[in-house]
Amino acid sequence: MKILSLTCPFCSAGLKADSGSKFADCPYCGQRFMIYDEDAEKKAHKIRKTDELLFDDAVTYLQRGNAYELESVFEKLKKDSPSNPDGWFFEGCYYILTFVEEEDDDWDTPEGFDDDSEFSDMIKNVRSCWMRAFKYVKDEDLVEEYFRYIGYSLGHLSRLFLFDENENQVLNLLDDIHKTVPNLITVSECYHIAFLGLIDIFKTMNDIDRRSDLYELLFYNTIAYDANITSVVKKFDELNSMMNNVGLGTGFSVHIAALNRAFQEAQSRLSSSDINRIAASWTEDLIDSKLSKYWDALMDAEEPSGIKSFFKKKGPDYDSLARDYVNALIRGPSGS
pLDDT confidence tier of residue 45, bands split at 50, 70 and 90? very low
At 237, the amino acid letter reads D
The residue ranges of every structural domain in the chain are 1-36, 43-247, 291-336
Mean pLDDT across the stretch 241-255? 59
Tens of pLDDT, residue by residue over 74-117, are: 888 888 777 788 999 999 999 999 998 887 655 444 444 455 68
With a pLDDT cut of 70, the percent of the chain lying above it is 64
Q: What is the DSSP string of 268-301?
A: GGS-HHHHHHHHHTT-TTTTTSGGGGGHHHHHH-
Tens of pLDDT, residue by residue over 174-209, are: 999 999 998 899 999 999 999 999 988 888 877 666
CA atoms within 13 A on the CB side of 316: 0
pLDDT for 282 equals: 53
* Whether pLDDT at 331 is above 50: no
- Mean pLDDT over each residue of the chain, to the nearest integer: 74
Tens of pLDDT, residue by residue over 204-231, are: 877 666 677 888 899 999 999 998 988 9
Largest CA distance in the chain: 102
24 pairs with which residues across the strands? Answer: 33
For residue 293, what are the CA distances in angstroms to 31, 233, 322? 83, 22, 13
The dihedrals phi and psi of 11, each to the nearest 5 degrees, come to -120, 0
pLDDT for 245 equals: 56
For residues 172 and 155, give the distance between their C-alpha atoms in angstroms, rounded to a whole number.
17
* Whether pLDDT at 336 is above 50: no
Tens of pLDDT, residue by residue over 296-324, are: 445 555 444 455 555 555 555 555 555 55
Q: CB within 8 A of 273, min separation 6: which ones?
A: none
pLDDT for 130 equals: 96
Question: How do the residues of the chain divide into helix, strand and coil, expressed in percent and rounded to 5?
Answer: 70, 5, 25
CA 143 to chain centre: 11
Higher pLDDT, residue 24 or 55: 55
Quick one: which of 241, 253, 209 has its CA closest to 332?
241
Helix/strand/coil for 5: strand
Q: Of 11-15, 152-156, 269-273, 275-279, which gets the smallest average pLDDT?
A: 275-279
User: CB-based burial of residue 147 (10 Å sphere; 0-12 exposed, 13-18 middle, 19+ buried)?
Assistant: buried
For residue 274, what are the CA distances in angstroms to 266, 271, 325? 11, 5, 21
pLDDT for 69 equals: 93
At 228, the amino acid letter reads N
CB count in 10 Å sphere of residue 214:
26
Q: Of 57-61, 251-255, 261-265, which gets the smallest average pLDDT?
A: 251-255
- Check residue 12 and give left, alpha or beta (phi > 0: left; psi -120 to 50: alpha): left
CA 180 to chain centre: 17
pLDDT for 180 equals: 92
* Whether pLDDT at 285 is above 50: no
pLDDT confidence tier of residue 238, bands split at 50, 70 and 90? confident
Burial code of 292-328, b = ≥16 C-beta within 10 A, e = fewer?
eebeeebeebeebeebbebbeeeeeebbebbeebbeb
**What is the value of pTM for the model shown?**
0.70
Quick one: which of 202, 141, 208, 146 has its CA closest to 177?
146
DSSP state, residue 292: G
Higher pLDDT, residue 302 or 236: 236
Helix/strand/coil for 192: helix
As assigned by CATH, the class of the 43-247 domain is mainly alpha
Taking the chain, what is the end-to-end CA distance rounded to the nearest angstrom?
Answer: 72
